[in-house]
Each structure stands twice: as C-alpha cells, then as structure tokens.
Amino acid sequence: MDLLAKYGAKSLVGRAYTFAAEAHKDTKRASGDPYFTHCKAVAGTVAEWGLDETSVAAALLHDVVEDTSFTLDDVGREFGPEVRSLVEGLTKLKNLPHATAGITKESGDESENLRKFIVSFAEDIRVLLVKLADRLHNMRTLASLPLERRRTFAWETLELYGPLAYRLGMQKLSGELEDLAFPHVLPKEYEELEKLVKEPYEERLAYAHALVPKVETLLKTHSIPVVSTDARAKRHYSLYKKLLRHDKDLGKIYDLVAVRVIVPSVEACYAALGVIHQEWPPFSGRFKDYIARPKSNGYRSLHTAVFCVDRKVTEFQIRTPEMHAEAELGIAAHWAYQQARNQKNANVWSGIRDKQELRWVEQLRNWQGTFTDPGEFQEAVKTDFFRDRVYALTPENDIIDLPADATPVDFAYHIHSDIGDQCTGARVNGKMVPLDTPLRSGDIVEIVTQKGKKPSKDWLRFVKTSLAKKQIRSVLNAPRNSAIRRLVNNPPPEDGSGHRGIPRRNKK
Ligand code: MN
C-alpha cells in the first residue's frame, strides 16, 4: 500500500512516514533490506485493517524509540500525546521475549512482565493490533533470522499471538500466524502432516473448485442471490491440532476443504442452507448454527457437511459479507466500524467494550483485582486463558467460555462465586451428572444450588480453573466473618446490569 499517496505527505501519517524513514535511514534488517521497509509494511497492514490515522502513524513509528536516538518525548512533541501513548505501549512490548517466557517459567519477574503486557494492551486495544501487525511482518520475513531467534519468535507466535488474535476474532490473522510458526516450532510434525495431506488436499481442492459453479447455479435457480463463492483448504496448524484429537485419521476430517458461500442477508443464509440440504443430504451431527449461537470470539456463520456430488462428504460455510469481514478482521472490523460511526467521539474503545470478544479483556482486568500475587495471576492466565477452550451454555443460551475438561463446578464459579459456593448438583443436557464430569462444547448446563451450602474440599481434586480453586480455598480457609468479607469483595450488581441476567463478578 502506498501510504503517502493514500494519506498525503502533509497528513499525520505522511509526517510520521518522513520522520521514521529519516530516523531508521542508517539501519538494515537481518535480511539486508532497509529497516524502514518493516515500518512501512506494518503500517500498511494496520491501514488495511481500517484502523485510524493515529494507529497508522504509531505503526510507522513503533520501533523509533527502541532502535534510534529519538525519545518518546521527541515523538510526543512531533505527533501529540495520542501517538506518543501508542508508541509508548509498543515500546514496552518490545521486551516480549521475557513476557512470554513468563507463561512457562515460574519467576516472579517474568510474570510481572506478562501482567504489564496484558494491562498495556487492555488500556488501548490499538496497541495490541499494531503489535499483531508487527508480529505478522516479522513472521513473514522470519527466514533471514538465525535459527535460535527464529525458534523463539515462532514459539511465542504459536503460544501467545496466535491465540490472542483468535480471541480478538481475527481468525484469518490467527490462522496465518500459526501456519507461519508451525514448521519452526514442530518441524517433524509439520513434515509428517505435509506428506499425509498433500494428495488428499489437491484432490479435494480440485473437487471443491469444480463444485463452485454448480453451487452458484443451484442457488440462482432457487432465486438466492450470491455475493461470492470459493473453495478453501483448511489451515495446516488447525488441521494438525484436529488430527491429534482424531487419532491422526484423515478419514475423520470432513473440513479438509470447505466451500464458502457468501450471500447478502441472514435470511439468504438459511435459504441457501435449505437449498443445499435439499439437493445433497446433510451428514448428521455436522450442522452448526453459529449465527444463532456465535462462537465466544464472535464468529458467525452456518456450517454444514453434506453428501455432495459422488457422495463425497463436503463442508459448506454460509455467511453474509458482514460476517465474513468480521471473521477475517474480528475486533479490527468492529473498531473501524465504530470509529466511522463516532468520528468525533475520542473514546471509541467504550463503544466496543461490550462486544463478546472483548469480555475476556474485561475478565483479565477483573482478575488483576482478584489475584494480587503475580505468580498466582500468571498461573490463572496460563490455565484459564491460553488452554484449549470449552464453550458450554446456560439454560438461557449464554455462552460460558471455559478451559478444556472444566467441570460443572468451574461453570458455576464462572457465573458467580455464590452459585459456585452453593452448588449441590448439575444437570447437563437435562440429565443429572456428577460434579466432576468434564463439560463439552455445546453442553447446556444447569446448576442446582442450595442456600447456605459451603464448597467441598473434595472439589479441589477436579476443578480446572484457577478462579474456582481460589474461591473454594478462600471459603474453606475463611475466618468467621467471611460472609461479610465476601460481600465486600463481590457485591451483587446494583442495577442488574450483568449480561442477560447473569450477575457479574467483581463489578467495579
Ligand atoms: Mn517492529
């Protein structure tokens, strides 16, 4: 993207461009390219995502303080406090190798860094978005780095940035980051996978491509307007993870290749689904309505698998252009949208705060209050935030996002500490189950409570979330006035403003 042509040389972006080009003029990247090519690429990505000029300018300047003789004050004087604050956040994140090390190592120093890292992006989501664009370019140009740094970069990307991008709803970015990192982190596994899928991939991709015009004709004869149709191969890393869950049996993977259909409206999505199911019988148990029940990162789409031409099981993904943009860009799409709506409102962040994919940012903020010890906080982030997730539902269809193998007790504590404390039983999909039953995505969970009941010490054996553990311990170890203390720590919401009737924990 030609930034100067798009924004003009005298704009904020234009001035930042000239400034950064000058500041970095004597440095080169490991590849031998002028350093400024990196700044331009990062800013180009940020502009493509539709972020504001301040973010694009900050992207151009993101390495100036760390890598040149200019200081933050210079940046502030030249470009104002907003650009300064973004560059400051980005400069802090430069120490990220230590911060990520905090996820695996147990030293207090490093977990403190991780905490700072999360706080810094939670204050302004734009810092994180620019950082993700920075990481994307570094990963795309990884080949020129020495082996050791390549590994560190790739590992961080797989452990931290990929999951973060996913949690922000940026599925395309998350997929690309993970695929770029995968061969460096798990070279043997990558090679095996390549061998295993090469032929089936090419075969099925050819099959799906041939299907595309057939699908278009089919929908048109039923008067369903089609915006676009294409055939997509599944990402390598996500396929690798899926194969691990299915005993490496490629025969059990039905979305190796998917046909993606984009239609103008939600009604057209369901109409298209109907037509496809009429033409080709659906494969049972493979229909997912992420429009009625979006994934917890905000993803919406209809997914189905059908016995298609030649009875081959084929996955279809049906969505609107808006859902498509959101699936690709996630939070960035909301950000740009909200920004366009309140041009004059400086606090765009508040407008998108309640979006589903941002609730976890809020959750992290709340945790900072709950976990005062940095080691404990680190443990909570590691187990509750980065592990594979289970999405269970309340009877009201609220999605509760939990780590893998979480139990009804974790679910209960996630809703509210009192519900956890007073939990006596659980109904999963209408049936009473033992409290240590691992939950699965899509389970509808109803917690049975009894007033005045105390948590059992036994629960510590099986609960998976740090939050539940902490709460159980604090009740078990509490002195007699605990009821009062808990009320102070967890006041009930004074206005019932918790999400759709669910009381929020630690409301401030
Ligand atoms: Mn950089």
Gap between the Cα atoms of 153 and 157, Å rounded:
6
- Which of 94, 168, 156 is closest to 131 using CA atoms? 94
- 207 and 295 assigned to the same domain: yes
Are residues 45 and 16 located together in one domain of the fold?
A: yes
In a domain, 182, yes or no: no
Tell me the average pLDDT of the chain: 79
CA of 134 to the centre of ligand 1 (A): 5
Lowest mean pLDDT among 55-64, 323-332, 344-353: 344-353
From ligand 1's centre to the CA of 189, what distance in Å? Answer: 29
Contact residues for 492 (Cβ-Cβ < 8 A; gap 6+): 503
Please check whether residue 418 lies inside any domain of the structure: yes
Same-domain pairing of 220 and 128: no
244, part of any domain: yes
Instruction: For residue 88, tell me if it sits in a domain.
Output: yes
Q: Is 499 part of any domain?
A: no
For the record, the structure tokens of 164 come out as 């973060």
Mark which of 328, 344, 359 sits at the end of a domain: 328
Question: Is 66 one of the annotated active-site residues of the chain?
Answer: yes
Distance in angstroms (rounded) separating the CA atoms of residues 44 and 1: 6
Who contacts 505 (Cβ-Cβ below 8 Å, separation ≥6)?
A: 366, 416, 417, 490
Q: Determine the Cα–Cα distance for residues 173 and 491; give it in Å rounded to an integer.
A: 39
Residue 372 pLDDT: 55
Number of domains within the chain: 3
Residue whose token pair is 């443990």: 379
pLDDT computed for residue 117 by the predictor:
54
Q: Would you say residue 366 has pLDDT above 60? A: no
- The pLDDT score that the predictor gives to residue 422 is 94
Among 328, 352, 370, the domain-final residue is 328
Is the pTM for the entire model greater than 0.85?
Answer: no
CA of residue 259 to ligand 1 center, whole Å: 36
Kindly state whether residues 229 and 108 are assigned to the same domain: no
Containing domain of residue 279, as a range? Answer: 187-328
Alpha-carbon gap, residue 378 to 383, rounded angstroms = 9
Tell me, what's the pLDDT at 293? 82
203-241 pLDDT, tens per residue? 888 888 999 999 999 999 999 999 999 888 888 898 888
Residue 322 lies in a domain: yes
Q: Name the nearest CA neighbour of 259 among 325, 298, 308, 189.
A: 308
Whether 120 and 212 share a structural domain: no
Query: Residue 170 CA to chain centroid, in angstroms?
Result: 6
Asked whether residue 156 falls in the same domain as residue 20, the answer is yes
Give the Cα-Cα-Cα angle 370, 371, 376 (nearest 5 degrees). Answer: 150
Instruction: Choose the catalytic residue: 2, 26, 66, 379.
Output: 66
Please report, for the domain that includes residue 249, its CATH number: 3.30.460.10
How far is ligand 1, taken at its centre, from the CA of residue 368, in Å? 28
Report the C-alpha gap between 444 and 424 in whole angstroms.
17
Distance separating alpha carbons of residues 108 and 87, to the nearest angstrom: 26
CA count, 13 A, side-chain hemisphere, 142: 23
Question: Hey, is 431 helix, strand or coil?
Answer: strand
- Residue 355 inside a domain? The answer is no
Q: Are residues 17 and 161 in the same domain?
A: yes
φ, ψ of residue 225 in degrees (nearest 5): -70, 140
What does the alpha-carbon distance between residue 55 and residue 48 come to, in Å, rounded to a whole number?
11
Answer yes or no: do 200 and 320 share one domain.
Answer: yes
Tokens of 100: 């990520």
Tell whether 9 and 86 lie within a shared domain: yes
Q: Which amino acid is at 388?
A: D
Q: What is the pLDDT of residues 83-104, one digit of tens each?
A: 998 998 888 776 544 434 434 4
Calculate how far, in angstroms, residue 478's C-alpha sits from the geometric centre of ligand 1.
Answer: 48
Q: Which of 144-148, 302-306, 455-459 has the lowest mean pLDDT?
A: 144-148
Query: Is 348 in contact with 82 (CB distance < 8 Å)?
Result: no
End-of-domain residue from the set 170, 201, 229? 170
* DSSP H helices in 314-416: 321-329, 331-341, 348-352, 359-370, 374-380, 408-415
Report CA(80)–ligand 1 centroid distance (Å): 21
Q: Are both 120 and 30 inside the same structural domain?
A: yes
Nearest to 341, CA basis, from 351, 356, 355: 351
3-class state of residue 260 by DSSP: strand
Cα atoms in the Cβ-side hemisphere of radius 13 Å centred on 173: 34
pLDDT at 387: 47
Measured between alpha carbons, how far is 31 from 150 in angstroms, rounded to an integer? 13
The one catalytic residue in 22, 26, 53, 67 is 67
What strands lie across the sheet with 302-307, from one edge to the other?
Answer: 228-233, 257-262, 313-319, 302-307, 288-289
Q: CA 416, 390, 129, 326 torsion: positive or negative? A: negative
**The pLDDT of residue 349:** 38
Same domain, 72 and 117: yes
| Same-domain check for residues 148 and 258 | no
- Structural domain includes residue 500: no
